[in-house]
Amino acid sequence: MNGTEIQLTGTKVWIENSEERYKINVWDGAAEVRSGVRYLLPFLLDKQMEKSVKHTLDKYPEQKTKYESIWNDISSEKLSNSSLETKSLFFQKDSVQNPLLILNEKQTNPNEMFLLLEKMQKTIVETASHKKTTVLEKKDIQELETFVSHVENPKPIELPKEKMEPIISPIPKVEKKIESKKEEPIRLGDKTIKLKDGSELKGNLIQYEDRYIIEIEGKKRVILSKDVESISF
């Protein structure tokens, strides 16, 4: 997601992702956050793919140095008891303008592929320029712990009961008290969820109120319903 790789070193991480911003909270340990094109496209992390593409670059010696930089990290941050916030990565939804969709939907020659990767890299660079690091105060960490605990062990929300005033009327009237329906988390099981930014996530999915909680390889992530395009059942 967002052209970012998170390398954990025994820590707690909470990721917030919306249309406007992308935020990573880290506490009780440390994490290294790296940004770059190859983290946005997992197939670029494959050593054989990297070797093949670099071999192809030999045919374009005048552009080799330029395109080899595509594999370089754009930024690297070490976080501990702090948060990193930036703009959400955005590509045009139109397949003619979105390099992610172009790479996914049709075969491209090496030179065209490098131009698309370069375009994606510029978008990530622009997004990363808005990043902001903030130290987490004790109260911030306590709020994160409370929220994580609530997500992992959700409890029905109890609404305060309203005090009923007696009604004086010539005709006896019975007032029925309607109890608020308690909303329980819905476990959807292993599902593939597609976000509006074009990315897909696969894991154990739970729906709770206006959000989804997806667990991937033991890590939980919260996604707002408004950011979800579709769910494959």
> What is the domain-level CATH number for residue 201?
2.30.30.100
In this structure, what token pair is assigned to residue 77? 């941050």
Backbone angles phi, psi at 7, to 5 degrees: -105, 115
Cβ neighbours of residue 94 closer than 8 Å, sequence gap 6 or more: none
Q: Which residue has the higher pLDDT, 4 or 83?
A: 83
Cβ neighbours of residue 134 closer than 8 Å, sequence gap 6 or more: 82, 83, 85
Reported pTM:
0.51
pLDDT at site 1? 42
Residue 123's pLDDT band (cuts 50, 70, 90): confident
Give the separation between CA 90 and CA 158, rounded to whole angstroms.
39
In this structure, what token pair is assigned to residue 207? 């729906």
What is the DSSP-derived secondary structure letter of residue 89? P
Domain span including residue 202: 184-233
Mean pLDDT of 75-96: 77
Residue 77 lies inside a defined structural domain of this protein: yes
Q: Give yes or no: residues 20 and 107 share one domain.
A: yes
Q: Give the end of a domain, one of 118, 135, 152.
A: 135
Residue 30 lies inside a defined structural domain of this protein: yes
In this structure, what token pair is assigned to residue 205? 């999915």
Residue 28 lies inside a defined structural domain of this protein: yes
Residue 51 lies inside a defined structural domain of this protein: yes
* 163 pLDDT more than 70: no
Q: Give yes or no: residues 19 and 117 share one domain.
A: yes
Q: Give yes or no: residues 9 and 98 share one domain.
A: yes
Task: Tell me what the pLDDT averaged over the chain comes to.
Answer: 74
Residue 82's pLDDT band (cuts 50, 70, 90): very high
Q: Is the CB of residue 63 less than 8 Å from the CB of residue 57?
A: yes
Give the separation between CA 116 and CA 53, rounded to whole angstroms.
14
Q: Give yes or no: residues 11 and 123 share one domain.
A: yes
Q: Give yes or no: residues 48 and 105 share one domain.
A: yes
Mean pLDDT of 55-68: 72
Q: Is the CB of residue 6 less than 8 Å from the CB of residue 31?
A: yes
* 99 pLDDT more than 50: yes
Residue 172 lies inside a defined structural domain of this protein: no
> Looking at the 3D structure of the chain, how many domains does it have?
2
Q: Give yes or no: residues 190 and 130 share one domain.
A: no
pLDDT at site 122? 86
Residue 164 lies inside a defined structural domain of this protein: no
Residue 154 lies inside a defined structural domain of this protein: no
Q: Give yes or no: residues 107 and 202 share one domain.
A: no
* 164 pLDDT more than 60: no
Mean pLDDT of 163-182: 56
Q: Give the end of a domain, one of 116, 135, 154.
A: 135
Q: Is the CB of residue 187 less than 8 Å from the CB of residue 206?
A: yes
**1-38 pLDDT, tens digit each:** 455 555 655 678 888 888 788 888 999 888 888 888 87
**Secondary structure of residue 94 in the 3-state scheme:** coil
Q: Give yes or no: residues 14 and 113 share one domain.
A: yes
Of 18-22, 78-82, 106-110, 118-122, the poorest mean pLDDT is in 106-110
Q: Give the end of a domain, one of 135, 165, 193.
A: 135
Residue 140 lies inside a defined structural domain of this protein: no
Angle between helices 47-57 and 110-128 (to 10 degrees): 110
Mean pLDDT of 80-94: 78
DSSP H or E stretch at residue 232 = strand 228-232
**196-216 pLDDT, tens digit each:** 888 888 888 888 788 888 888
Give the separation between CA 165 and CA 162, rounded to whole angstroms.
9
**69-79 pLDDT, tens digit each:** 777 888 888 99
Q: Give yes or no: residues 116 and 11 share one domain.
A: yes
Residue 95's pLDDT band (cuts 50, 70, 90): very low
As a whole number of Å, the CA-based R_g of the chain is 24
